[in-house]
Amino acid sequence: MNLNEYNFYPSKEEEHELLKQQAKMAAMGEMIGNIAHQWRQPLNILSALNLGLCLKHKRDKLTLEEIQKFKKKSNTIIQGMSATIDDFTNFFKPNKIQENFKIDDAVNSALKFVSDSYIENNIEVFYTANPTIEINSYKNELIQVLLNIFNNSKDAVIEKGIKKAQLTIRIFDSTENIVIEIQDNAGGIDFNIIHRIFEPYFTTKFKSQGTGIGLYMSKMIIEKSMKGSLSSENRDDGLLSIIKIKKENADWSYEI
């Protein structure tokens, strides 16, 4: 008896679609965590401004000038919070059309999303790039890959208790590719399992902290949508991730 005839097992297409959906949900979970970090400080500032305004009113020392200052400061903070939501909303918009964009813009967007959590965990970023390097590809998808790598490095730093954590990002031109190298100092990955990190559902994290699909989908994005490559290796005292993207990429749509 063929059990597949009775739909006991998903087809390869169904399994791949499930992986895609799980990757999206995992990315959204990471994003919600990043929004929480991005909003925590401005919310605290707004709370302090509001408390100060109430105290001055209670003491009958509230002036029109103080009200105008409060309005200006609070409005600036709220606009910043709104811009954060716009950034995250734009990130999750479907993007299946290639566009010209600077690699530097994609890297800075990804760094912006993780900046607060990096500050909280004392991770210092060293970034070297030619800001004029430009490609014609899928910007949001590249940001998603970068975010996954940045978050993985942060998680490794936290898990291993690295005191002076560093992330080094380097972008350069090679003969045929644009190369993005991302190096952390979180101790790397065990030699016996590093060859498996791009397998679906394989994770070095606790089950409650990782799904094991982030790197798998990242590799699929780079290989299928950008006709490039994504690899990782232990280097020095951490993990080096290498993204290579073709300089010349024919205009085409894709479906991962």
pLDDT digits (tens, 9 = 90+) for 126-147: 999 888 999 988 888 898 889 8
What is the structure's pLDDT at 225? Answer: 78
Q: Kindly give the parts of the chain with pLDDT less than 70.
A: 1-35, 37-38, 83-84, 86-96, 201-213, 248-256
Measured CA to CA, the distance from residue 219 to residue 181 in angstroms comes to 15
Which residues, listed in sequence order, are joined to residue 238 by a DSSP beta bridge? 235
What is the structure's pLDDT at 254? Answer: 45
DSSP letter, residue 189: -
Q: Where are the domains of the chain?
A: 13-91, 99-246
What is the structure's pLDDT at 93? Answer: 60
256 touches 20 (CB < 8 A):
yes
Residue 243: which of 158, 149, 156, 140 has the closest Cα? 149
* Tokens (6 digits) for 3: 């059990």
What is the structure's pLDDT at 20? Answer: 61
Contacts of 62 (CB under 8 A, 6+ apart): 53, 56
What is the structure's pLDDT at 176? Answer: 84
Three-state secondary-structure class, residue 193: coil
Three-state secondary-structure class, residue 233: strand
Measured CA to CA, the distance from residue 142 to residue 221 in angstroms comes to 8
What is the structure's pLDDT at 84? Answer: 67
What is the structure's pLDDT at 17? Answer: 63
* Tokens (6 digits) for 6: 């009775």
What is the structure's pLDDT at 107? Answer: 95
Measured CA to CA, the distance from residue 80 to residue 182 in angstroms comes to 29
CATH fold for domain 99-246 = Heat Shock Protein 90 (3.30.565)
DSSP letter, residue 188: -
Measured CA to CA, the distance from residue 102 to residue 79 in angstroms comes to 26
